[in-house]
Structure 1
Amino acid sequence: MTEEAKGVLAMIGACVVWGLSGVYYKLLDHVPPLEILVHRTLWAFLFFLLVLAFQGRLRALPRAIATPRTFGIVAIAALMISINWFVFISSILFGYATEASMGYYIFPLTAVLAGALFYREKLNRPQMISVGLATLAVVILSVGLQVAPWVALILAFSFAAYGVVKKSLDTGPIVSVTAEVALLSPFAAAWLVVIQLQGTGHFGANFITTGLLIFAGIITSIPLILFSYATRRVSLATIGLVQYLNPTLQFLVATLIFREVFTLWHAIAFGLIWTALAIYTASSWRRGRAARKASRAASTSGTTV
């Protein structure tokens, strides 16, 4: 099996875990979202520490936050990812999984918009059309349901903000994520101690709940490791295509397993978003193909000379 094929399989694995994670969190619907987030953070931190120790890279962790600049970047990234995790968990527990899937569908488009705003990346015509269609979808859904799809918007923009912040960080993905949960862990541990002393915590209540809370950290860590593995072996265009498996599985889980309400307004909004993603993906694929051709041509020319 080629390295690229291994990377594609790793990316598919990551997206399957992300896409089906809603089913897992639904098993914890008797636990408050904040408590789940606390355990997700703490156990993910411990798991990542073991991974770094196994790789012999523990010394890279303090270097990731060694300067005020990197500490600030990691702190902001930690805040953004904790907001994203909390809103996603809440959406599953309170019946907004369909809206959550919408958030991850429109995330690539909000990322494009963030790149234009913060890094002066120019939008081409297909990208502008895609962003416009996604915006129209949000407006139509807001008018139809008489409430803005806040879950989708918060998930999309918090993850886009997370990407913007991480772009200015030179640290590798595993080390940087470990640093983020390391900054969050003292607050998570303090909250866990408080609720356990108050007798309202669910850790230790029974074997199943305790095991599910611990494993929340593992299902957070494994797809990130798979994603990191894939990005080193697969083109960004391929990653962009495969990543849509995540919100697609989330959408299917929400509508087929959770049986959430799917109105005509949802159908119109999702239709517009899927159209926007088709235009955006086709444009990205063409540009990636043109870039590869240009690179091969330049390489051939250099060899000839």
Structure 2
Amino acid sequence: MTDNGARGGLLLGLGAYTMWGVLPLYFRLLASVPALEVLAHRVVWSAVLLILVVSVMRRWGAIRAAVNARTIAMLVASAVLIAINWLIYIWAVNNGQTLAGSLGYFINPLVNVALGVAILGERLRKWQGVAIAIAAVGVIIMALFAIDTLWISLTLAASFGIYGLVRKVVAIDSLGGLLIETLLLAPPSLIFLLVAAGDGTGAMGRDLSIDVLLVVLGVITALPLLMFAAAARRLPYSVLALLQYVAPTLQFFVAVAIFGEPLRPLHLVVFGLIWIGCAIFAWDSVRASRTARRAAREALGATAAP
């Protein structure tokens, strides 16, 4: 990997996670639109944009070659999971629960590790175990003293974690998978929007600014995902492991500094434990990546030796 390639990957990754981090600001502009309708528009306009992207990139042949019954079945599952994740997050932002959403995405990387151990049989490194244990204490405290919002955090973390697990094992690239997911979700979403328009309850057509915001949701959804996919090909996993905390950190500050959501002592304790767990996890990821690269260089040197 060249320095320019790595620098480009870093910029793409930062761009993607920054867009996800400030996404609550966009959803708050759509606070007058029910969460389910926002989700439907997000799906439909994302599908339109992705069809255009795949057509311009001439990727239809490669995507069709990757599609079979097993792939479709798994993408049906991942589509349902990402729809649940999007719906809960939109609802949380527009109901004053952005902090709970932020907590969910802080927990998510640790959920990914736990799923890897439980489902894929991956071995848990010592410090990963420590990180998960500390974060678990934070979740338990939240369960004991703030059970009313814990469901938001856990649903977001679990749905996105399981979504990532499905997408990890399904045999299709990120662009093709995202396209098929949105195409699977598009028909029911379009029917929902047509019914809402027919009975006069739909938001589209009442306010030009809202109409534009709903259409641009397609770009807001697809662009960071495409940027992330490009960054993932250029950056080592350890860097991605660090970047993934950019989005929930920004969401946290948006919730407190802009939306004015109350930051109670309980939040400080829980987020403090989660942050400690995330910091240990990130440090361990960087350490493990450096060890692996050093071992690879030594093995290459031993192979090249006469």
Instruction: Name the TM-score class by shorter chain.
Output: over 0.9
Does the aligned pair in 1 maintain the 2:255–2:261 contact within 8 Å? yes
Q: How big is each residue's C-alpha offset from its partner over 1:228-266, in whole Å with a ceiling of 9 and x where there is no partner? A: 110111001001111211100000000000000111001
Which is further off, 255-264 or 142-151?
A: 142-151
Q: CA deviation at 1:117?
A: 1.1
Which is further off, 199-208 or 133-142?
A: 133-142
SS at match of 1:147: helix
Aligned-pair identity in percent equals 35
Q: How big is each residue's C-alpha offset from its partner over 1:132-160, in whole Å with a ceiling of 9 and x where there is no partner? A: 11111011122223535111100100001
Uncovered stretches (5+) of structure 2, i.e. residues with no partner: none
Does the aligned pair in 2 maintain the 1:49–1:58 contact within 8 Å? no
Uncovered stretches (5+) of structure 1, i.e. residues with no partner: none
- Name which of 13, 16, 20 aligns with 2:15: 13
Does the aligned pair in 2 maintain the 1:83–1:158 contact within 8 Å? yes
1:37 corresponds in structure 2 to: 39
Which is further off, 50-59 or 23-32?
A: 50-59
Alpha-carbon distance between aligned partners in 2 of 1:89 and 1:191, rounded to the nearest angstrom:
17
1:26 corresponds in structure 2 to: 28
1:259 corresponds in structure 2 to: 260
Alpha-carbon distance between aligned partners in 2 of 1:188 and 1:135, rounded to the nearest angstrom:
36
Which is further off, 54-63 or 241-250?
A: 54-63
1:142 corresponds in structure 2 to: 143
1:229-248 map, 5 Å: 229-248=230-249
Q: Mark the CA change 1:199 to 1:173 in structure 2 (over 3 Å): closer, same or farther.
A: same
1:58 corresponds in structure 2 to: 60
1:271 corresponds in structure 2 to: 272
TM-score by length of 1: 0.97
Which is further off, 33-42 or 126-135?
A: 126-135
Aligned length: 304
Q: CA deviation at 1:68?
A: 1.8
TM-score by length of 2: 0.97
Q: CA deviation at 1:8?
A: 0.2
Q: Mark the CA change 1:192 to 1:146 in structure 2 (over 3 Å): closer, same or farther.
A: closer
1:209 corresponds in structure 2 to: 210
1:290 corresponds in structure 2 to: 291
1:27-106 map, 5 Å: 27-64=29-66, 66-106=67-107
Alpha-carbon distance between aligned partners in 2 of 1:146 and 1:291, rounded to the nearest angstrom:
41
